[in-house]
A and B are shown apart, each in its own frame.
Chain A
């Protein structure tokens, strides 16, 4: 009995201690995929976040920012669980979340149940997140997967003279969005997409996928990321694959280009498009790369920041700059802060970024080609820079809405 009551007192003490206390700090919750297939992406995202804090500092007026990190595994349920923990246990006021496509859709929907808090998307890139029924308190400073493919289809058709391609992609919203962007442009230019294969996120054995790749195509587009991409490349090389490759934004990225082993060499010469290019000469970009490299020892980082690091950097930057504009004023359900977020124009390392009326980024896109730097390290080299890419990809909104939402079969391969 006495043991029980002691336990009870200890328990209630534990519960009460985490209840509200006076705070001079602004608490921000951050989620990243620190488990599962996208672990490497999550870790580099956190490096980008840390780089932003090194550059900009954690002070907002007389208040200090406090960041609390939670881990997810790229599934929507893990993201909602992590965000709920941050809100309910750690009492964060602002969320920097999440990293992956389907997580983004789930967190955006969850954001509606907490209208008093503000959510800043960290890196997720599904179109639906901000295009369909957007949440008024959810802001996204990175472009979506389709925007990140702008320029690739035309470049493949006009410069590389590809006429027929097939795609292999992970079976979820972000890759649908990427293929959506690619197909619209490539088929619009006159090309054909003959075959679209979808593999579950976290696939380890690609033997059947590789066997089913068609031979009569000019190139194969790969929309894979993290461990899946490395596994595919290894098995593709062992199977003797020689086709021309095209890559999605997390396929041709430092998370893959600096992986160990030879398999990545299959990517040399691959064309891709993304929200960044490793070798861009813009001074802002070079400064960011330098800050990233200085922040971590070479064996604890990639040679150059990945797209995830850049996205986390940009979203952290938006958060801090907007908070400074309002001097850390989060009163009135963070109304002033949100106004600042909506209006802010970021001079981000990967080009200027501003938000549209759905609080979705309009930014700069890059078509790239993978090159060897002569010392065995691979980088993406800029071949084309496209500024002011909006979510409807330059289409009239009415036409764009008729295309439908990205899925396994949408869009059809035709000119819209």
Chain B
């Protein structure tokens, strides 16, 4: 209890600082417009590797971490199963849709398979949430981690639906209106649109009555109950929404790699999502995307970087770990916190919601 309580206390000031304006904070923020324009014209400046492997992957991981940020930042519930929900949704796309494993895949067209996957994954996440809301703080973490670990081992050993360690290969991607939606540029825009949709949905919800009540539940559940709010129902609803966001990202993930296997839903990968959210900062929706960008850049280039310095490339995990340690050490609320403090020192009081730092 005490652990969770402390965590919530540290979260509070930053969220409150962001709240005074009821309008969209992005509208008056030039940095946000610049980032939006850069993201829109990205296919003009980036080659296909950067477009998909860096930016689309960032947006997908960022969206999964966004669902964690929503739960942790606004609901005070740290859920480690967000990646599991995304993975479940990805598996469902592969199972109901078309893939090379014809003995498993049912071969539905994508417009049937995807809603089915989203529904099932949201239901899965809501159920998990309904279990988890009975607990607080570290126990929530444990339960959700247990769900994640159980799902990983289940996929690893179940051959009838999940095809074990091999996973499901060559998952079909949508083709319609004469466009191959998995070609680099269309796919990038699909990912961008979904990520933007989720981002603004979270932003909107955080100001809507539901979001405000949720933050009330986070700050003082007993008082909210006394005021007549159904605390658990609010929390379960938050899980349902977060599961839907994670499920959307899961669909994009399976389209991105065209395959899904247990490695993608491993416990390590679940923790990666937590790292992304913490490094970016869980006080605002933009945090997870910044965290994801740092994570993807480190993961992709740490090996090359070490080799270029003439060091043993095998130690690249160390570099990744050190990077995260440094960020968390200097700023307990992630990169967002660093940025905010820097702004304050510059004497700029207007808080920015989407930092131009993203590409700095």
Whether a CB of chain B sits under 8 angstroms from the CB of A392 is no
Asked if B122 is an interface residue, CB under 8 A from chain A, the answer is no
- In the complex the two chains form, is A70's CB within 8 Å of B303's CB? yes
A75 near B261 with CB under 8 A, answer yes
User: Contacting chain B: which of A5-13, A153-161, A302-310?
Assistant: A5-13
CB distance from B350 to the nearest CB of A (A): 14
Report whether A76 and B261 are in contact in the complex, using a CB–CB cutoff of 8 Å: yes
Query: B167 touches which one: A43, A69, A102, A201 (CB < 8 A)?
Result: A102
Contact of A102 among B30, B53, B261 (CB under 8 A): B261
Q: Which residue of A lies closest to B100 (CB)?
A: A109
Q: Which residue of B lies closest to A408 (CB)?
A: B159
User: Which of chain B's residues 15-60 have a Cβ closer than 8 Å to chain A?
Assistant: 30-31, 34, 38, 45-50, 52-53
Assess whether A106 is in contact with B167, with CB atoms less than 8 Å apart. Answer: yes
Q: Give the CA-CA distance A309 to B159 in the complex, in Å.
A: 32
Nearest-neighbor residue (CB-CB) of B169 within chain A = A109
Which stretch from A81-89, A240-248, A313-321 is at the chain B interface?
A81-89
Asked if A200 contacts B38 (CB within 8 A), the reply is no
* Complex Cα–Cα for A77 and B269 (A): 12
Contact A84 to B166, CB < 8 A, known contacts A77-B259, A109-B100: no
Q: For A173, give its contact among B153, B165, B260 (CB under 8 Å).
A: B165
How would residues 250 to 265 of chain B score, 1 for a CB under 8 Å from any chain A CB and 0 otherwise?
Answer: 0000000111111110
> In whole Å, how far is A39's beta carbon from the nearest beta carbon of chain B?
8
B264 partner residues in chain A, CB cutoff 8 A:
75, 77
Chain B: which residue is nearest A405 at the CB level?
A: B103
Given the complex, which residues of A lie within 8 Å of B156, measured CB to CB?
A: 171, 200-201
B contact residues around A85 at 8 Å (CB): 49, 53, 300
The verdict on A75 contacting B263 (CB below 8 Å), with A109-B100, A172-B165 known, is yes
Q: Are B34 and A77 in contact (CB under 8 A)?
A: no
Chain A residues 50 to 77 lying within 8 A of chain B, measured CB to CB, are 69-71, 73, 75-77
Q: In chain A, what residue has the closest Cβ to B31?
A: A4
Which one of B153, B157, B169, B300 contacts A106 once the chains associate, using CB atoms below 8 Å? B169
Identify A88's interface contact among B38, B52, B314, CB under 8 A. B52
Nearest chain A CB to B313's CB is how many angstroms away? Answer: 7
Given contact pairs A70-B303, A133-B100, A200-B153, A102 touches B165 in the complex (Cβ within 8 A): yes
Nearest neighbor of B317 in chain A, beta-carbon distance? A35
Residues of A close to B31: CB separation below 8 A: 4
The main secondary structure of chain B at its interface with chain A is helix
> B323 in the interface, Cβ–Cβ < 8 Å?
no
Q: A12-37: contact bitstring with B at CB < 8 Å (1 yes, 0 no)?
A: 10011011000000000000001100
Q: Using Cβ atoms and an 8 Å threshold, which residues of chain A touch B34?
A: 4, 8
Q: Is the CB of B157 within 8 A of A171?
A: yes
Q: How far is the CA of A171 from the CA of B38 in the complex (A)?
A: 46
Nearest B-chain residue to A133, judged by Cβ: B100
Q: Which of B316-338 contact A (CB under 8 A)?
A: 316-317
Q: Which of A206-254 contact B (CB under 8 A)?
A: none
Instruction: Report how far A289 CA is from B80 CA in the complex, Å.
Output: 49
Q: Which of A16, A77, A133, A407 contacts B257 (CB 8 A)?
A: A77
**Contact status B165-A15, CB under 8 Å:** no
Pairwise interchain contact A77-B263, C-beta atoms closer than 8 A: yes
Determine which of A11, A77, A81, A133 lies in contact with B45 in the assembled complex, contact meaning CB atoms within 8 Å: A11
Contact B314 A34 (CB under 8 A): yes
Bound-complex Cα distance A43 to B164 (A)? 26
Check A362 for interface membership: any CB of B closer than 8 A: no
Most-contacted residue by chain B among A7, A8, A76, A133 (CB, 10 A): A76
A398 within 8 A of B: no
Does B360 reach chain A (CB closer than 8 Å)?
A: yes
Beta-carbon contact of A201 and B165 below 8 Å: yes
Contact B165 A80 (CB under 8 A): no
Distance from A121 Cβ to chain B, minimum over Cβ atoms (Å) = 16
Bound form: Cα–Cα A190–B142 in Å: 51
A71-B303 CB under 8 A given contacts A8-B359, A172-B165? yes
Give residues 95-131 of A contacting B (CB, 8 Å). Answer: 102, 105-106, 109-110, 112-113
CB-based contact B30/A1 at 8 Å: yes
B30 touches A8 (CB 8 A): no
- Complex Cα distance, B38 from A12, in Å, reads 10
Assess whether A78 is interfacial by the CB under 8 Å rule. Answer: yes
| B115 at the binding interface (Cβ < 8 Å) | no
Q: Is residue B356 contacting chain A, with contact meaning CB distance below 8 A?
A: yes
User: Can you name the residue of chain A whose Cβ is closest to the Cβ of B265?
Assistant: A77
- Given A8-B38, A172-B166, the answer on whether A88 and B259 have CB atoms closer than 8 Å is no
Assess whether A84 is in contact with B53, with CB atoms less than 8 Å apart: yes
Beta-carbon contact of B259 and A106 below 8 Å: yes
- Check B360–A7 contact: CB distance below 8 A: yes
Q: Is A402 an interface residue (CB 8 A)?
A: no
- Complex contacts, B266 vs chain A, CB 8 Å: 75
* 8 A Cβ contacts from A357-384 to B: none
Q: Once the chains are docked, how many angstroms separate the CA of A102 from the CA of B156?
A: 12
Interchain nearest-CB distance for B166 vs A (Å) = 5
Q: Do A76 and B259 touch (CB < 8 A)?
A: yes
On whether the beta carbons of B167 and A76 are closer than 8 Å, the reply is yes
**B166 contacts A102, C-beta separation under 8 Å:** yes
**3 closest residue pairs by CB, A with B:** A75-B263, A88-B49, A172-B165
What is B's interface to A at a CB cutoff of 8 Å?
30-31, 34, 38, 45-50, 52-53, 100, 153, 156-157, 159, 164-167, 169-170, 257-264, 266, 300, 303, 313-314, 316-317, 356, 359-360
Q: Could you list 14 A-B pairs, sorted by A, with CB under 8 Å?
A: A11-B45, A15-B45, A18-B49, A19-B47, A35-B317, A69-B313, A77-B259, A85-B300, A88-B52, A106-B259, A171-B157, A172-B165, A172-B166, A407-B159
